[in-house]
Chains A and B, each alone.
Chain A
């Protein structure tokens, strides 16, 4: 259903949204994501930072849907919103983050860092401008190409060409699991 929605959003003409519908959604969600990201890195209330992170990551899931990457969108919701942010919130609670403002949350070099940030953002944006200066690309309509990010299509590519990295990923998860247990489990005294 979401695939159909995304397809109808991105295919031109035959949907209740005009061709600019996708653009409107993109701009609105994009602004929300940017705003939430700025708040995440700037708010002095640590728990709020995590909650704004949820907004930013959720917005990105919508952007993935607009790009017809359905599988990735749902994995984003499941892994990021479902586990990473929850773990981060647990972390904040275990380290007893104050619910209110925490005055020591910023380091002193804020202005230097902001200057660097502006420079870096300028570089990256000019990079994109420069790279695609004289090109106007239309995204191919989703039906016409092989790129639909359905679970089936992703699964087939994943298990045909990317088997070895996938297995390495399983090893990574096992190592992370064992390592985290080593660092945090207290065992009782036994023989």
Chain B
């Protein structure tokens, strides 16, 4: 090495005398470990994709993903046990990430959702095997081939599999872990994109009905990009108002306790920047949770995406986006509560009513669940509006309860199949209860939980959010909520009646026997639904302890 050095020194001059060093930023790696574990698993997964022979990839990817998720969950539990959810809550990584109760609770929930989702992604027993006998999963064998072409058929024959879905999912999960924990708007924006981009791609990868799947991806992508442009412009306006993007800094400026500067005196002279900025941030977030009037993408995307991905999207995205919404409204903008509350009232009422009423007319199971998820977004919003500690804990609890019901319901949808893949048309589900009582009963349980029947997690969640909303004086909202729950219960029960009290068709769909993966996923869904329904106190207490934001 010394020879090149001396040669170089003939025509270069060392610049070290003039370079200044900047202080090293302080990063608390231990407290970021949930995200680091997941992102690490994603990077490892990509390396495995590059270097392992094709036949080993499937099991390697599942192993890596599960190891990362379990590691992340252990990290969350350890951090919570060390008191970061309570007394030691603080901002880590130069103020970019809040390690506090809501962050850890939501991160734990998202990691568990991801575990169940990865189980669903790994399912290979539902599709008939390829002609060479290779097991087949729910994703396109080769996404680049044109649907119906010879290339696609030969790819399917040779048993190709898009095992890249596992690292992509891990990227999305990592972004979702960062999103509700982000303590400045920039980190929030980057996290939003980190989890959105892999989801757009995953939507396009269905094995069956690929046209629908690709169109869902285009629609989701274009509307998602549109909404994140709104989020960004809102971010710019808020930055213009407050001169900072950190949650704490914004809260200080809004409440008037920040150190005044000449520029601040100008920009905070009136609230127009703040309010329009907040509204635009809201557009971005409400789009992600699928609230009316930003819900147009939901049914199409839920229907077109591969069903395991739909389950993942419907649950995890909602948890992450509501987490970020809570942090914004409770930690950054409590000073303008009286300005945003009426608007959010309107959105919540619209969301509940529109979601419940349009769901009644649906004839496709996946679209039905999509509209039901819209209605549930409305119910969760009533908890957000409560603007008290009970509201936070109720929303946290509801998110956990709702997401496992959703995962379970979509997992059951993957089981009911006919020659063309999943039989999602409702008429095909007639008489399912007589043909396979166990599957139908499981689905009925999930539907009852959606409807909020006592002894299911849905009831405990709804009770908690409505109670929180009522205690903050939002009684009209609670009345609308209860009424639309009743409408929603009507169509859930209609499906149950259809399954159990109508005659099965002779050419009806069959119920595939799942592997241990999907069986475990559904069992976990049932377990959580009943567990949170029968013994909600412990989890409500946990959510209650985790309901203080740090800023």
Contacts and interface: CB of A to CB of B under 8 A. Distances in A.
Interface of A: 123-124, 127, 130-135, 137, 156, 159-165, 168-169, 171-172, 174-176, 178-187, 189-191
B27 A163 contact: yes
A161 B167 CA distance: 29
Interface stretch (B4-12, B269-277, B356-364): B269-277
Interface in B157-183: 158, 160, 162, 164, 167-168, 171-172, 174-175, 178
B151 interface: yes
A127 B272 contact: yes
A168 B194 contact: yes
A124 B155 CA distance: 52
B190 A163 contact: no
Contacts of A181: 164
30 contacts: A130-B270, A130-B272, A131-B267, A132-B266, A137-B263, A156-B22, A160-B22, A160-B94, A161-B25, A161-B94, A163-B27, A163-B93, A164-B27, A164-B93, A165-B187, A171-B39, A171-B42, A174-B42, A175-B172, A175-B197, A175-B198, A176-B197, A178-B49, A178-B168, A180-B201, A182-B168, A182-B201, A184-B144, A186-B151, A189-B158
B160 A182 contact: no
A137 B278 CA distance: 24
A131 to B, nearest CB: 5
Given A172-B197, A179-B164, 4 more contacts: A160-B94, A172-B194, A176-B197, A184-B143
Contacts of A176: 197
Contacts of A160: 22-23, 25, 94
B190 to A, nearest CB: 5
The listed residue with most A CB atoms (<10 A of its CB), out of B23, B167, B168, B194, is B194
Interface in B1-48: 22-23, 25, 27, 32, 39, 42-43, 46
Nearest to B92: A164
Contacts of A178: 46, 49, 164, 167-168
A38 B354 CA distance: 36
B54 interface: yes
B25 A159 contact: yes
A131 B241 CA distance: 9
Main SS of the interface on chain B? helix
A185 B269 CA distance: 54
B493 to A, nearest CB: 39
The list of the 4 closest CB pairs from A to B, nearest first, reads A179-B201, A164-B96, A175-B171, A164-B93
Interface in B480-512: none
Nearest to B172: A175
Contacts of B205: 182
Contact of B54 (A132, A164, A190): A190
Interface in B195-233: 197-198, 200-201, 204-205
Q: How large is the interface on B (under 10, 10 to 19, 20 to 34, 35 or more residues)?
A: 35 or more
Interface of B: 22-23, 25, 27, 32, 39, 42-43, 46, 49, 53-55, 93-97, 142-145, 151, 154-155, 158, 160, 162, 164, 167-168, 171-172, 174-175, 178, 184, 186-187, 190-191, 193-194, 197-198, 200-201, 204-205, 263, 266-267, 269-270, 272-273, 276
Nearest to A163: B25
B48 to A, nearest CB: 12
B15 to A, nearest CB: 13
A183 B201 contact: yes
A130 B270 CA distance: 8
The listed residue with most B CB atoms (<10 A of its CB), out of A127, A168, A187, is A168
Given A163-B93, A175-B171, A131 B269 contact: yes
Contact of B191 (A168, A179, A187): A168
Contacts of A163: 25, 27, 93-94, 96
Contacts of B201: 179-180, 182-183
Contacts of A182: 143, 162, 164, 168, 201, 205
The listed residue with most A CB atoms (<10 A of its CB), out of B32, B94, B272, is B272
A135 B269 contact: yes
Nearest to A136: B266
Nearest to B263: A137
A174 B194 CA distance: 10
A164 B143 contact: no
